């Protein structure tokens, strides 16, 4: 199991490194005829559902080691971690979207995000990887899905529906309750 985890981490680091190089290239040579406008998304799973966040809003993908309970916090706050000397709230999409709990939490991931407000993170069961998509393919029909506005659209990636998570709305609504 440790070998497969290391392989996933190595693959994700490679994909995020390629993405970083692409952004660096954009600073040198703006996107014109070089390539069509695309959006890189980090695709992950919670339960049997697939979700994605914009990769440029991602700080790091890590394990929830050292996560501690956050007393007196709402049920959708799984706990808090220290990331680069900053305390970061870890949000649980399962609780926010009514996805059944897992029997074991040992293989979870934490996606540390950079919303417009303070840094936060979300739990994920599995990492699928970074996928580059054309924003014209987004379907905004999922707005206010499941009684929440954190899912702002969906797209089919690798023949699978993927819900797009708006991290700014997620963090503002999750911390307001």
In a domain, 23, yes or no: no
Per the structure, the count of domains in the chain is: 1
pLDDT at 145: 44
Q: Which tens digit of pLDDT belongs to each residue from 140-169?
A: 644 444 454 688 888 888 899 999 998 888
In a domain, 71, yes or no: yes
In a domain, 3, yes or no: no
Nearest in space to 133 (alpha carbons), one of 53, 78, 16, 48? 53
pLDDT at 2: 53
Q: pTM for the whole thing? A: 0.74
pLDDT at 174: 57
**Which domain covers residue 149, as residue numbers?**
37-176
Q: Which tens digit of pLDDT belongs to each residue from 100-147?
A: 887 776 789 999 998 777 788 999 999 999 998 887 777 764 444 445
Q: How far is CA 27 from CA 1, 30, 60, 101, 130, in A?
A: 39, 6, 22, 43, 21
Q: H helices of 29-115, where? A: 93-97
pLDDT at 146: 46
Which residues make Cβ contacts (< 8 Å) with residue 56, sequence separation at least 6? 19, 23, 40
Q: CATH no. for residue 154?
A: 2.40.50.180
Pairwise CA distance, residues 161 & 155, whole Å: 6
Pairwise CA distance, residues 160 & 28, whole Å: 35
pLDDT at 167: 84
pLDDT at 144: 42
């Amino acid at each position: 199991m440790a070998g497969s985890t290391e392989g996933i981490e190595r693959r994700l680091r490679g994909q995020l490194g390629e993405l970083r190089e692409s952004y660096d290239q954009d600073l040198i040579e703006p996107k014109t005829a070089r390539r069509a406008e695309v959006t890189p998304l980090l695709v992950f799973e919670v339960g049997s559902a697939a979700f994605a966040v914009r990769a440029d809003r991602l700080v790091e993908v890590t394990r929830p080691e050292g996560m501690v309970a956050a007393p007196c916090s709402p049920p959708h706050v799984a706990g808090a971690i220290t990331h680069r000397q900053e305390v970061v709230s870890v949000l649980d999409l399962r609780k926010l979207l009514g996805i059944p709990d897992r029997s074991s939490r040992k293989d979870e991931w934490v996606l540390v995000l950079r919303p417009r407000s303070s840094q936060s993170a979300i739990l994920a069961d599995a990492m699928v990887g970074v996928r580059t998509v054309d924003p014209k393919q987004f379907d905004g029909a999922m707005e206010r899905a499941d009684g929440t506005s954190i899912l702002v659209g969906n797209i089919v990636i690798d023949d699978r529906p993927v819900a797009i998570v708006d991290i700014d709305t997620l963090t503002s609504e999750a911390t307001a309750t």
